[in-house]
Copies of this chain bind each other. A is one copy, B any other.
């Protein structure tokens, strides 16, 4: 029996303990965007360090201006085998709205469903369940061979859900320590529950918060209504102006750098037989709401977007309050493709907003993350090895897919460390990532762990 096969057996036998460890991690509410959870983020980082040390990694937390990084090193590169950098993140999205969860978000549980057992809790998939598949695969290898067959550096960050502000500076100041032959990133999905996938297209992301202020205080809408500027109306008009009736984004020069998918890409996407009705139907929708004349796969993989992720202004409690508020604000995000320049788009967006500000209004902009889209190099030989390993585990060919979400780290690895990234994950469209009742199929966790064990073996030539 090959070492890989032995590792797979060890993984199967230890699945209950693997789950216990994942549950321990999910119980730590490491919400990075809210300072109230800073101590929990630190606790999660320490917990990951502990896991890595058990596997003989030289691991530690590293201070940043924000949440700490976890870095761990195992082994040294030997002739003929690669040194890989594995990336994941221990932080999670806020759990609200809490009232929509069937059970407390940070009390993970295993739920029986017609399509198999599911791990439910905030972070079950994104990204705790995902990155733990790699750690548990290492554990399987360690258990049966006493060591890992390749040199591995692990980098688990704690600010992925809040714009990864510390990551760029950290990579920059730790180039020598973090540089490897290529990166493995576990934060993406499968094509469907039975078909593994490697993600080769990733949209970029630019996040802006805008705060519109009019009067110096909240006003009585009876006394001032008709004469006073209402910042909610100003903000609504700006948001309404962002798209035309065909869903085309109106920020000047926004589509500069947007490329159409190649005929080969289109052909491969067509071969996936995307079920648009099922994709939308699963979340209660029926009609693609994006740019007219585009397939859903194009809309979510190869077209840029502009969405409002949150808005608030005035009285939002129960009942009514006849107020003209002083302020209204919105969180707006752009998904980017091709060579769109996030910083140029930020600048143009701000100009677009300022142009629409009527008299007596001020606007404050808070820039959050900004990262370009990414195309993964398909000619990288390790991509073939990983695809073969996935194909062996799932007994069907791995799909080469796009991803609507943003994993800015892949761009940073390319830019700062000159490394390509191979994006392999085991999430599913119905995992309710960022939503109440987030889940990760037990089969994703199990096959995911086994897949990484196979990939590690394949990269080691075993």
Q: Using CB atoms and an 8 Å cutoff, list the residues of chain A in contact with chain B.
A: 32-35, 93-94, 96-97, 100, 161-163, 189, 203, 205, 207, 209, 214-230, 232-233, 235-237, 239-243, 279-280, 283-291, 296, 299-300, 303-305, 307-325, 328, 330-331, 333, 335, 358-360, 368-369, 403-406, 429, 432-436
- A291 vs B226: C-alpha distance in the bound complex, in angstroms? 7
Task: Please give me the residue from chain B that is nearest to A288 by CB atom.
Answer: B227
Contact of A217 among B219, B322, B436 (CB under 8 A): B436
User: Could you write out 10 A-B pairs with CB less than 8 Å apart?
Assistant: A35-B318, A205-B222, A214-B284, A226-B290, A227-B289, A228-B289, A233-B307, A240-B241, A309-B314, A309-B321
Q: Chain B residues near A312 (CB, 8 Å)?
A: 311-313, 316
In the assembly, what is the distance between CA of A230 and CA of B305, in Å? 12
CB within 8 Å for A239 and B232 given contacts A310-B314, A435-B218:
yes
**Given A223-B405, A315-B309, does the pair A434, B218 have CB atoms closer than 8 Å?**
yes
The one of B32, B217, B222 in contact with A432, judged by C-beta atoms closer than 8 angstroms, is B217
Q: Are A226 and B305 in contact (CB under 8 A)?
A: yes
Query: Which residues from chain B contact A239 at a C-beta distance below 8 Å?
Result: 232-233, 236-237, 240
Which residues of B are found within 8 Å of A289, using beta-carbon distances? 227-230, 358-360
| Least CB separation from A161: chain B residue | B321
- Cα A362 to Cα B88 with chains together (Å): 38
Q: A330: which B residues are within 8 A, CB to CB? A: 232
Beta-carbon contact of A226 and B299 below 8 Å: yes
Q: Say how far A51's CB is from chain B's closest CB, in angstroms.
A: 27
Contacts of A313 in B (CB 8 A): 308, 310-312
Does B320 lie within 8 Å of A284, measured CB to CB?
no
A232 near B300 with CB under 8 A, answer no
CA distance A227 to B404 in the complex (A): 10
Residues of B within 8 A of A360 (CB): 280, 284-287, 289
Of all chain B residues, the one with the shortest Cβ separation from A229 is: B289
Contacts of A214 in B (CB 8 A): 284-285
Q: Choose among A227, A307, A324, A333 the residue with the greatest number of B CB atoms under 10 Å from its CB.
A: A227
Give Cα A191 to B223, complex, Å: 12
Q: Given B35, B240, B284, B433, which contacts A216 in the complex, CB threshold below 8 Å? A: B284
User: A207: which B residues are within 8 A, CB to CB?
Assistant: 320, 322
- Residues in chain B near residue A237, CB distance under 8 A: 236, 239-240
Contact A218 B311 (CB under 8 A): no
Q: Assess whether A220 is in contact with B309, with CB atoms less than 8 Å apart.
A: no
Instruction: Assess A227 versus B296: contact at CB under 8 Å? Given A239-B232, A308-B232.
Output: yes
